[in-house]
Amino acid sequence: LPHGGYGDEATSFAEVLRRYTDDVVMKSPLDASPHWPSDVGGEGRGVEEDGTGVLRRTSYGMNNYLSRNYSPMVALYGPGHAADRATKVRRPERIVCFLHMTPQGDFAVSDHPHVESWDAGDEPWRLASRQIAISAAEGDEVVDALATSNYGMLDGSTATRQFSDLYESAERNAFDPTVALPGSGN
């Protein structure tokens, strides 16, 4: 689902998984977004300024670099360049697959961030916080490099990490599987 949530719902990971789960699984206990329907604990307020519009379907987003549809690599180089299966990713235990989406704004109803947009400037955590909940594990909103959230890695493991442990720059991060990892030589 694109930011704003008006995309093709049928292609969203949340919709594909819906037949195997329910709203309780798709909503994190840490998620206090007002954009949830009231029957699942939200305020039923859409993301438009006047409170209308799309409601939240999931707390979670999928790393767009791992998407066949939204990967920047597919946009630049074509479908064969998608890291859309684990066999195409080196070190899957270090690559983020799922994350908490921001509770407010257009990305509150999206199912993926745009990681490639976080490198504009010297505060990537600030840009990322407009798309993902970088401090979901904090209890309060924290917008800095040390903000802590929970992440699902591509190998199926989970981790609570500071944003700076996962993202330094477009060339060093745990989202784009083609670049070096933060704090390492690989």
Residue 70 belongs to a domain: yes
Strand 167-169 and strand 60-62: pairing?
unpaired
- What pLDDT score was predicted for residue 23? 61
- What pLDDT score was predicted for residue 109? 92
Residue 36 belongs to a domain: yes
Residue 34 belongs to a domain: yes
Residue 181 belongs to a domain: no
Highest mean pLDDT among 15-24, 62-71, 115-124: 115-124
Residue 152 belongs to a domain: yes
pLDDT tens profile 32-76: 999 999 998 899 999 999 999 989 989 999 999 998 877 888 888
Q: Is the pLDDT of residue 9 over 80?
A: no
Q: Is the pLDDT of residue 186 over 90?
A: no
> What pTM does this model have?
0.89
Number of domains making up the chain: 1
Q: Is the pLDDT of residue 6 over 70?
A: no
Average pLDDT over residues 77-87: 84
Range of the domain at 49: 9-173
pLDDT tens profile 134-178: 999 998 999 999 999 999 999 999 999 999 999 999 999 999 999
Average pLDDT over residues 105-122: 93
Residue 111 belongs to a domain: yes
Q: Is the pLDDT of residue 12 over 80?
A: no
Average pLDDT, the chain: 89
Residue 48 belongs to a domain: yes
Residue 184 belongs to a domain: no
| Amino acid sitting at position 16 | V
| Amino acid sitting at position 56 | R
* C-alpha dist (Å) from residue 149 to 28, 35, 160, 165, 178: 12, 20, 6, 11, 23
* Nearest-10 Cα torsion for 114, 116, 122, 127: 0
